[in-house]
Structure 1
Amino acid sequence: MQIADNTVVQLHYTLKDEQGQVLESNEGRSPLAYLHGHNNMMPGVEQALAGKAEGDRFSVTLAPAETYGERQEGMIQRIPVKHLEGAKRWQPGMVAVVQTDKGHRQVTVVKVGKFMAEVDFNHPLAGLTLTFELGVASVRAATEEEIAHGHAHGEGGHHH
């Protein structure tokens, strides 16, 4: 079966920066699952996977606009340190999670004081050209429930 809209795709990936440094990988672990055609994957990655089948392995290099977007000016804000989640002590360059009105967001600590921190709300990988090494572990037709919910269920997907 080929990857198309309303298919559930399980995949392994390795994400590298422009220098070839591995930033993230799930190789050797459970595959990631997503529902194709429902905006659950970065546009460039989803487009590259379209038409592929179980067992396919390939690499694709994508510009920022196709992944995490360009870096935007004016995204640095001061927030109370107590709102930073993920560590007890913070230093510049560390990635934290904060709760916003749009859900949890990753931020990068720019400057930290005793009570307040300056954080960058740009995604930590925004502005980078990224290479994805992808391996399709499986492809199956989505269930009616998955289509109605807009995401994959089961291993590597969403659990209700």
Structure 2
Amino acid sequence: MIADQKVVSLNFTVKDTEGQIVDSSEGGEPLVYLHGQNNIIPGLEAALVGKAPGDEFAVTVEPTEGYGEYNAEILQVVPREAFQGVENIETGMVFTAQTESGPVQLVVAKVEDDNITVDPNHPLAGKTLNFSGSVIEVREATEEELAHGHVHGAGGHQH
């Protein structure tokens, strides 16, 4: 059964409230993660506790238990010069910026002459998400996986 410190493999599909598929393991590799280590969003992790291989799940995750509320106050206007080597900057482009707390993904929200508005919110911030899927496997984590806080090997992190 799914519990903290177990390695979980699952197939899943996540849709937004309009029914659009946001992400899915369909036709690809299952999601493999170490449960209880904040490797997946809290609302989904909590809903999976106690499930066993073969169990299906359907859970609605509100923004507070997902990717957080959308925060318009963190949008920033940066000068065009900050995008060295990029000739055409367009709305919707995604860049990675290095910050003191690690890499942050930025989406270009608006382009006005030499002022570029970037949005560091997660693309799914503020969205209610509907997850469905099935549990494939639950196994004990290795000592190395527990020490590192994530899965190694097939479907997991490679060092």
1:14 has 2:25 as partner? no
Measured after TM superposition, the shift of residue 156 of structure 1 is 1.7
Name the CA distance, whole Å, in 2 between partners of 1:135 and 1:91: 39
Cα distance between partner residues in 2 of 1:22 and 1:149: 31
Structure 1 residues 52 and 83, CA gap change in structure 2 (3 angstroms): farther
- 1:78 is matched with 77
User: What is the alpha-carbon distance in structure 2 between the residues aligned to residue 29 and residue 82 of structure 1?
Assistant: 36
1:140 CA drift (Å): 0.3
Which residue matches 2:103?
104
Render the CA deviation track for 1:76-118: whole Å, top value 9, x for unaligned: 113422398xxx7442134433332222222221123676521
Structure 2's unaligned 5+ residue stretches are none
How many residues matched?
156
Task: Give the counterpart letter for 2:84 in structure 1.
Answer: K
- Structure-2 residue corresponding to 1:55: 54
Contact 1:12 1:26 in 2 (8 A): yes
- What do residues 20-79 of structure 1 show as CA deviations (whole Å, max 9, x unaligned)? 111111212111211101111110010011111112222111110010000113111134
Seen in structure 2, the aligned counterparts of structure 1 residues 74 and 28 have a Cα distance that, compared at 3 Å, is: same
Structure-2 separation of matches of 1:78 and 1:23: 28
Q: Secondary structure at the match of 1:78?
A: strand
What is the CA distance between 1:144 and its match in structure 2? 1.1
TM-score, with length taken from structure 1:
0.87
SS of residue matched to 2:124? coil
**How far does residue 136 in structure 1 lie from its aligned partner after superposition?**
1.4
Deviation of the 1:125 alpha carbon: 0.8
- Normalising by structure 2, what TM-score? 0.88
Q: CA RMSD in A?
A: 2.0
Moved more, 95-104 or 14-23: 95-104
